[in-house]
Structure 1
């Protein structure tokens, strides 16, 4: 992953895409399939829910949809931590994904906090 500036939607899409590429190379065993499938769903869902938040009909609706995005990012983080503990997948990619998901969680959490304080 490169250190470029993205708008948030682009970063979430890039994260979901990078997760797809990471999961394609996980071992084809029960563990790899289980955690890979779960990670694909949560990472993709975070990007999709952020897209929905952008079309929100109210601030309350935006906060709700952004909160779902945040929940999915946190699920992705835990999944990556489990895979990290088990040394599953390419280590450098896995660690970069963990770093990116931490940054995305902080950004989305800050946006939600700021929206609540409006």
Structure 2
């Protein structure tokens, strides 16, 4: 009966549907079993959906704090070199963040 899950890119090498099956499973385990979860991901949109707190690592810097304050359009461009929009979307009675990649220039 673990209290903490530590997952290294659990959604990598999966197709789009199976990525979200894994994300939903993680969220269910955290909610139903009261677990804490530490996850490493290369997908900012997954971090927005999954996490309360984020450590964003760059080549020469890092940021740590509340996910919605750390993963912003400006920081995605700064840390990943891509332009993106993060939009609020109403879904199942709550607001989630939609992540849209615009380009890499």
TM-score, normalized by length of structure 2? 0.30
User: Of the two structures, which has the highest relative contact order with CA contacts closer than 8 Å and spacing of 6 or more?
Assistant: 1
Which structure is higher in strand share?
2
TM-score, normalized by length of structure 1? 0.28
Which structure is higher in helix share?
1
